């Protein structure tokens, strides 16, 4: 979707303003937000793609006004309601008022280290041979799906070169919507700065994206 999250090349947000000696967390609620988000993900009810889509589906005014942990929590509330774990009433009152669905699993303290150290690999076997090879010229599709996609707007309809052929990976555009993992090969595609940004672009700039095969056509 052409949502608020798709920020590459936008202007007007002001300086980056890096913070000297930035702490890992700026407030205790951020600690809890990180932990609650990861522990809720471990319930196994949704994928990382669905959670990304929940975040980018926040209203743009909300998205741009929120810190990133706030975006996480607002999206988490949506996911927990969607999957029947909590109700709007409960979020309103801050307490349990109904049992809700039973999760596949709950993350307990003893399992945290192992779960975090294992992570959640997203590479998958793909039977078909890769359609493209390193060095091939390709063009990204200029499409504007209303659902989740990982092809950023600034890199749509652009001509580039395959730099690396990656493994097969879960396809976010289907997986985010419960339509299956449908894995595809992923490619690292390089674009000249001027292909992306026109004659005002930095002549010594190359930008790469990682693109699923169906985002690309032969140029």
Partner 1 sequence: MTHDHHTHDHDHPHDHHHDNELDPFAARVKALETILTEKGLIDPAAIDAIVETYEHKVGPRNGARVVAKAWVDQEFAERLARDATAAIASLGYTGRQGEHMQAVFNTPDTHNLIVCTLCSCYPWTVLGVPPVWYKAPPYRSQAVINPRGVLAEFGLKLPEDTRIRVWDSTAELRYMVVPMRPVETDGLSEDELARLVTRDSMIGTGLPLRPGSLGPGALWPPEADPGAGI
Among the listed ranges 90-98, 126-134, 174-182, the one in contact with partner 1 (CB under 8 A) is: 90-98
13 belongs to the binding site for partner 1 (CB under 8 A): yes
**C-alpha distances out from residue 85 to 4, 77, 81, 133, 138, Å:** 27, 10, 6, 45, 44
In whole angstroms, the minimum distance from the beta carbon of 110 to partner 1 comes to 8
In the block, residue with structure tokens 């026109």: 198
13/127 with CB nearer partner 1: 13
In whole angstroms, the minimum distance from the beta carbon of 46 to partner 1 comes to 13
111/217 with CB nearer partner 1: 111
31/179 with CB nearer partner 1: 31
* 198/202 Cα distance (integer angstroms): 9
In whole angstroms, the minimum distance from the beta carbon of 144 to partner 1 comes to 15
In the block, residue with structure tokens 């493994």: 167
> Using CB under 8 A, which residues numbered 147 to 206 contact partner 1?
150-152, 154-155, 166-167, 169-170, 186, 188, 196-197, 201-202, 204-206
216 belongs to the binding site for partner 1 (CB under 8 A): no
Beta strands 184-192; 159-169: pairing state: antiparallel
CA dihedral for 188, 194, 197, 202, sign (positive or negative): positive
* 37/34 Cα distance (integer angstroms): 5
40/136 with CB nearer partner 1: 40
- Structure tokens given for 124: 């998958």
Nearest to 58 by CA among 78, 41, 83: 78
136/172 with CB nearer partner 1: 172
**C-alpha distances out from residue 117 to 41, 101, 120, Å:** 15, 28, 9
> Using CB under 8 A, which residues numbered 25 to 64 contact partner 1?
25-36, 38-40, 43, 52, 55-56, 64
- Structure tokens given for 93: 């009152």
> Using CB under 8 A, which residues numbered 108 to 137 contact partner 1?
108-109, 111-113, 115-123
143 belongs to the binding site for partner 1 (CB under 8 A): no
């Amino acid at each position: 979707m052409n949502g608020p999250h798709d920020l590459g090349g936008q202007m007007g947000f002001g300086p980056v303003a890096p913070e000297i000696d930035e702490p890992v967390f700026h407030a205790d609620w951020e600690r809890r937000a990180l932990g609650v988000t990861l522990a809720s993900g471990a319930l196994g009810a949704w994928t990382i793609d669905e959670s990304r889509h929940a975040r980018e589906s926040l209203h743009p005014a909300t998205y741009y006004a929120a810190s990133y942990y706030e975006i996480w929590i607002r999206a988490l509330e949506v996911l927990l309601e969607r999957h029947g774990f909590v109700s709007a009433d409960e979020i309103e009152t801050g307490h349990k008022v109904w049992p809700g669905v039973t999760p596949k699993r709950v993350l307990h303290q003893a399992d945290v280290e192992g779960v975090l150290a294992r992570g959640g690999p997203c590479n998958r076997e793909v039977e078909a041979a890769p359609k493209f090879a390193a060095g091939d010229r390709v063009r990204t599709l200029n499409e504007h799906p209303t659902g989740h996609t990982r092809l950023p707007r600034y890199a749509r309809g652009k001509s580039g070169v395959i730099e690396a052929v990656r493994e097969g990976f879960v396809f976010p555009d289907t997986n985010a919507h419960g339509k299956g993992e449908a894995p595809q090969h992923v490619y690292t595609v390089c674009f000249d700065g001027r292909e992306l940004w026109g004659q005002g672009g930095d002549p010594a700039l190359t930008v790469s994206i990682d693109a699923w095969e169906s985002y690309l056509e032969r140029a």
